[in-house]
Chains A and B, each alone.
Chain A
């Protein structure tokens, strides 16, 4: 008797549910539209451009606040596998040109977030361990205390730097008329912080000379990485002071790390 029910005309009844029409979603189109749509941060609708392209722009603007709050609109930035992340990390340590090509299609935010978190933990933990070693070595009143404020300072400095500096450069580059992509800047700056993680391991050694050598090496490597990648982004126009200031800022961060946490 089941088929009898489906043939009953029910649309005239109040509150009836119309039959579901199988809609064709152009799912194949999303794979091509993803890279283009990733330029906008955050992408509305999870990077999906509706088929009516003339209205696409308006719908983007209308849904933008919704895209900001929903989780699925950030998923394209975490679309990386383990090998991809490891590959990017390795290429960040050697300041070569490869990095910008690697993140061209799909900049990811996984790397920046967790490299920053690792760096915060490293700085807080190893900074305290460094003071412990120094105090033991100099044999003062052996009442070393764990300084919890290192955690606060590390978190504020590292996360603040990783979020604010690329955003500031994004706005500056836009002001100068260059087309910059915010997510690429965040990605690049985040990976540039990775070299400080092994550096902080070496900074524990309680010798001042050794510490200064390490931090100068790490700072130079990181700043050079930032400089190279930013130069590629800006295509060598009249923004040389901007790029140089990025380099100087990165080096200043390295110095701050040494002076505040490991001295």
Chain B
């Protein structure tokens, strides 16, 4: 055991040691050490392990192999872990379990983009579409991110700006300012009313609830008839408000629910009106 050492260890080396410990203690069956993040396939691994068997830089482990002698099977045994959470055809997760923190720096850009897109889609499904977890705000947006809201706000601003016939840049500026500052002010409003909400989680949520309005804006840009625009915007507006309702209403005292919800509806209605009026 090297726990008695006073030499400061590299964090990934500590996970190496944990891995080895688990395998030694687990005995026959391999310890399934699941990586913290969904790993990606073949990846250049920076050799940081101080084990007597240094890993070659570009190592791609076979998908499954029975655990042979413990030490040498450290790289291989981790590969016998079951499919990583949310994993597609992912192999080569051995290096992953040993050195999770620096991986996202060296992985291919496509992996990063794909991971972020997957997260955006999954957050979108949780927030905007009906699913059994919507009533549980703690579960719903645990893995919040701000890329989705940013993308939707910029998309909405660009769509409105494109549909406008005059003062395009001012339209974009107004739309962006209303949405971005509005999200912050709405979150502050909930916090000031004594509600319990996490600041960035709420920003993320309010941004994701813009998705229906962004779709509505796209439809209105392509369609010219005012009646159709009104119908489409009303539907998407109702959808956005329905999406935001459970999160906001459960965050505050029930006697102040209307006080917390009204500004949200005000912001969405003003954006909806903006979409209809811009032609």
Contact = CB atoms under 8 A, between A and B. Distances in A.
Interface of A: 71, 74-75, 77-83, 85, 110, 113-114, 117-118, 121, 125, 128-129, 145-146, 148-149, 151-152
Nearest to A129: B277
B270 interface: yes
A239 B170 CA distance: 44
Interface in B237-278: 253, 255-259, 262-263, 266, 269-270, 273, 277-278
8 contacts: A78-B193, A81-B256, A114-B263, A121-B269, A146-B164, A148-B167, A148-B174, A152-B174
Given A78-B192, A148-B171, A125 B277 contact: yes
B191 interface: yes
B173 to A, nearest CB: 9
B44 interface: no
Contacts of A110: 189, 192-193, 259
A68 B14 CA distance: 44
A146 B175 CA distance: 13
Interface string B158-177: 00000011110011001000
B171 to A, nearest CB: 5
Contact of B270 (A82, A125, A148): A125
Contact of B266 (A77, A117, A129, A152): A117
B194 interface: yes
Contact of B255 (A78, A81, A114, A125): A81
Given A71-B191, A82-B256, A146-B279, A114 B266 contact: yes
Contacts of B170: 148-149, 152
Nearest to A126: B273
Interface residues of B, number: 28
A151 B262 CA distance: 20
B154 interface: no
Contacts of B191: 71
B218 interface: no
The secondary-structure label for the interface of chain A is: helix
Main SS of chain B's interface residues?
helix
A114 B257 CA distance: 15
8 closest cross-chain pairs (CB), A and B: A78-B192, A81-B255, A82-B258, A146-B277, A121-B270, A125-B273, A148-B170, A145-B166
A82 B189 CA distance: 14
Of A82, A125, A128, A146, the most chain B CB neighbours within 10 A belong to A146
B257 A82 contact: yes
B140 interface: no
A81 B253 CA distance: 9
Contacts of A83: 255
B124 interface: no
Contacts of B171: 148
Contacts of A151: 174
Nearest to B192: A78
Given A114-B266, A121-B270, A148-B171, A128 B277 contact: yes
A202 B204 CA distance: 37
Contacts of A114: 189, 262-263, 266
Given A75-B192, A114-B262, A121-B266, 15 more contacts: A78-B193, A79-B194, A80-B256, A80-B259, A83-B255, A110-B189, A110-B192, A110-B259, A117-B263, A145-B164, A146-B277, A148-B164, A148-B167, A149-B170, A151-B174
B188 interface: yes
A42 to B, nearest CB: 12
Nearest to A125: B273
Contacts of A81: 253, 255-256, 259
Nearest to B163: A146
Contacts of A113: 189
Nearest to A146: B277
B167 to A, nearest CB: 5
Nearest to B259: A82
Nearest to B279: A146
Contacts of A75: 192, 194
B192 A71 contact: yes
Contact of B194 (A78, A117, A145): A78
Contacts of A71: 188, 191-192
In this complex, the member of B188, B189, B192, B279 whose beta carbon has the largest number of chain A beta carbons within 10 angstroms is B192
Contacts of B258: 82
B241 to A, nearest CB: 16
Nearest to B269: A121
Contacts of B262: 114
B49 to A, nearest CB: 32
Interface string B179-202: 000000000110111100000000
A83 B257 CA distance: 11
Contacts of A149: 167, 170
A71 B167 CA distance: 37
